[in-house]
Amino acid sequence: MSILDTHREALALIARRSRTRKLIPRAGHDFASNDYLGLSGSGALRAAVAAALDRGVAIGAGGSRLLRGNDPEHEALESEASAFFGSEATLFFSSGFAANSAIFSTLPAGRDLIVHDALIHASAHEGMRLGRAATVAAAHNDVGAFAGAIARWRAEGNKGRVWIAVESLYSMDGDIAPLAELAVLADREDAFLVIDEAHATGVFGSGGQGLGEGLDGRENVVTLRTCGKALGCEGALVCCPRVLADTLVNKARGFIFSTAPSPLAAAAVRASLALVRAQPERRDRLARLVTLAGARLPASGSQILPVIIGDDARTMEIAAALQQHGFDVRGIRPPTVPTGTSRLRISLTLNVDEAAVAALADAVEELTA
């Protein structure tokens, strides 16, 4: 009997369910990444990073932000991001997961209620698990379900604050939240609205500000924008009222007790925001790919197109066949998505061209026929 047997048995159970996860190398046309604007490997961003190194930007922060890790690049990024997105304040985190964990574990009080979309990201669930507020799931993109959950909680005599938590663009379904209606609900209920713009930042909005453009700057809106997707870098920006940013600095354990993000990463995000602003043609090119793919594959209204297969094993077989054909498409299974909805997650980026999209559509049609 080995002390590792419990873990071996757990992995064997995962394998029997056809849900084993493995790391595989990059290969073939990119239909898997979140590098929507093709910035992560762009010459423009590489040049900006090289220029930052030349002007002496450090690679490591050397400590937490509250010790000696608070670099001028962090502060410059936060100031520029606030101006770009229209928020009163911005705080830079090492990742979207860390930022969501900090938001939901720190800002809602123990007497409060978080009503979250049923399909919200795992990082939000992690923050809620660490926090003290009550939580309840609302049916996906159903404003009435959110309103009903709040009404039932109030009817029970609860007097705390409500936090409405959603993603603006859902990473596995590619569909878009009814943000305008949710903002009206938040105003009516004197509630906070927390919007995860991870997959919309850089892609949507008049200047790449995201689907929630125009909501930043309100005292009841908190917005998370990750930097490792369309911005092509790493880290995350929490845009919010100044008092909430100060609360995170003073109370968020993941911020207080973590070494600060790399100053060089902050410089890269600054450069990426400038590129997004200066190069709207990237969004236009991506929109054309979305239109082309949507004519052949299940359209979602965004650059994320799910092809629902259902069966876990069959999903992975088709994904493997696509990879053998030179298309990097990954299969997504439970628990990432609901049981019975295993799928191919096709992600459109500027790392592919129209010919590759058309060829992928041919291959998907053949393999799923």
Q: Name the residues annotated as catalytic.
A: 34, 121, 167, 171, 196, 199, 229
Residue 29's identity, in one-letter code, is: H
Q: Which residues contact 35 (CB under 8 A, 6 or more apart)?
A: 41, 229, 230, 232, 349, 350, 351
**Which DSSP category does 262 fall into?**
P
Q: How far apart are the first and last CA of the chain?
A: 47
d(CA 291, CA 61): 42
Alpha-carbon distance of 152 to 366, in angstroms, equals 49
- Longest distance between any two alpha carbons in the chain, whole Å: 62
**Beta-ladder partners of 238:** 91, 224
- CA 204 – CA 287 distance, rounded (Å): 10
Q: How many CB atoms lie within 10 A of CB 284?
A: 9
What letters, b where the CB count within 10 A reaches 16 and e where it falls short, cover 331-340?
Answer: bbbeeebeee
* Phi, psi (rounded to 5 degrees) for 117: -65, 140
